[in-house]
Structure 1
Amino acid sequence: MRLENKLAIVTAAASGMGRAGVERFVREGARVAAIDISAPALEKLVTEFGSDKVVPIVADLSTADGARGSIDEAVSALGGADILWAHAGMPGPASVEDLDLGEYQKAMDLNVMSATVGAGQVAKHMRERGGGSIVFTASISGLVGSMMSPIYSAAKWAVVGLTKSLALALAGDNIRVNVVCPGLADTPMKAGFTGRSGDPAEAAANEAKVVSAVPMGRLVKAGEVADAVLWLVSDEATFVTGVALPVDGGFTAR
């Protein structure tokens, strides 16, 4: 098993890609602290995978206290940390015109602040264990501009920059830092990008537009992103750090 006896933390763990990551980490031998805002969804994880494998932690990661406290709680429950997948994020406002600064700040806090605080909080614990692996979730919108989601794109470019900077800063502590950059995924958050107006026809048209630009001709699946993260945190990637890995069916290859 690739993660045997490893102690892992996953944020936004109860649905979509995060949930797929929990499943793979457990399957490969890790014990996982699953952080999410939804207590009922976390309880479903525990029921499915067992309380010996999954520790549920309810937290609002859009607040500094939630981002910091959830990591401390996870480390305390697990007895340390070898892996952090900081996956929490949200689409944010669709336009910068008449921008609601409250919604803007919430998006920046969840996408950027929670990742930054989480990494800072977990790094000292990884250092004590001789190293570790941190993976962030960005997006293809962190590699190329997004017409539909400028705030999300700005946030995810920040996460990619954070990754590269921390990879340099933490390399001497044997802590690897990488980021996955998925394309539009077939997950519950998809509608937040394609259907902000609530019009199903608009959502379908936007999805079709995205798919037409993907050389492989479809959306990415949650499990495909989780598989990429599993590789990055495993000992199969021990000399990989500072990488922004697209999981996008060739979208950014142009």
Structure 2
Amino acid sequence: MRLNGKLAIVTAAASGMGRAGVARFVREGAKVAAIDISAEALEGVVAEFGADTVTGIRADLLNPDDATGSIDQAVEWLGGADILWAHAGMPGPASVENLDLDAYRKAIDLNITSAALGAGRVAQHMRKRGGGSIIFTSSVSGLVGSMMSPIYSAAKWGVVGLTKSLALALAGDGIRVNVVCPGLADTPMKTGFTGRSGDPAEAAANEAKLIANVPMGRLVQAGEIADAALWLASDEASFVTGVALPVDGGFTAR
């Protein structure tokens, strides 16, 4: 098993890619602390994988105390930390015209501030174990501009920059830092990008436009992103750090 005996933490772990990540990590032998804002959804995750293997930690990562405190809770239950997949994020405002500053701040805080806080806290624990793997989630919008989601794109570019900087800063401690960059994914958050107006026809049209620009001609599945995170977490990627890995069907290859 690729993560046999590893101690892993996953944020936004109760649905979509995060939940798929919990499943992959458990299947490959890890013990997992699953962090999410939904206590009810976390109960389902723990019930599915077993309380001996997975614990659920309810946290609102927009709250800095929760962003760091949930890591400490996870480490206490796990007995340490080898892996952090800081996956939490949100679409944010669709335009900078008449910008809703509260929505803007939430998008920045969840997409990048919570990731930075979590990584800063977990690095202290990983250092005690001689190293580890930190994985962030950015987006293809963190590699190329997004006309539909400019604030999200700005935040996710920041996550890529954070990744590369921390990879340099933490390499001497044996801590690898990488980021997975999904294309538009077939997950519950999809309509947050394609259907902000609430009009199903608009959402379908926007989705079709995006798929038309994907050489492989489809959406990415949650499990495909989780597989990429699994590889980055594993010893198979032992000499890989500072990498922004697109999982996008060729979208960014143009």
TM range (shorter): over 0.9
- SS of the aligned residue for 2:130 comes to coil
Q: Equivalences for 1:79-94 in 2 at 5 Å?
A: 79-94=79-94
- Report the AA paired with residue 227 of structure 1: D
Aligned with 2:81: secondary structure? coil
- Tell me, what secondary structure is at the counterpart of 2:177? strand
SS at match of 2:245: strand
Tell me by how many angstroms 1:250 deviates. Answer: 0.1
Give the count of matched residue pairs. Answer: 254
Who is 2:7 aligned against? Answer: 7
Alignment of 1:50-129 (within 5 A): 50-129=50-129
Give secondary structure in 2 for the equivalent of 1:14.
coil
SS at match of 2:14: coil
Matched AA of 1:234: S
The letter of the residue matching 2:185 is A
Give 1:27's aligned residue: 27
* % identity of equivalent residues: 81
Correspondence 1:1-254 to 2 at 5 A: 1-254=1-254
Q: CA deviation at 1:63?
A: 1.3
- 1:40 counterpart letter in structure 2: E
Inter-partner Cα distance in structure 2 for 1:61 and 1:193? 21
Supply the distance in 2 between the matched residues of 1:173 and 1:143 (Cα, whole angstroms).
27
* AA at the equivalent of 2:154: A
- SS state at 2:230 partner: helix
Normalising by structure 2, we get a TM-score of 1.00
Residue 5 of structure 2 aligns to a residue in which SS? Answer: coil
Inter-partner Cα distance in structure 1 for 2:159 and 2:102 = 20
Q: CA deviation at 1:219?
A: 0.3
Gaps of 5+ in 2: none
Alpha-carbon offset, residue 69 of structure 1: 0.7
Structure 1 regions of 5+ residues with no counterpart?
none
Deviations 1:125-169 (A, max 9, x none): 100001000000000000000000000000000000000000000
Counterpart-to-counterpart distance in 2, 1:77 and 1:114: 21
Give 1:62 shift. Answer: 1.0
Amino acid in the other structure paired with 2:15: S
Q: CA separation in 1, counterparts of 2:192 and 2:62?
A: 17
SS at match of 2:35: strand
SS of aligned partner of 1:231 = helix
Q: Distance in 2 between matches of 1:22 and 1:63?
A: 23
> Deviations along 1:179-234, whole A, 9 cap, x unmatched?
00000000000000000000000000000000000000000000000000000010
Letter in 2 for 1:206: N
Residue 115 of structure 1 aligns to a residue whose secondary structure is helix
Q: Per the alignment, in what secondary structure is the counterpart of residue 57 of structure 2?
A: strand
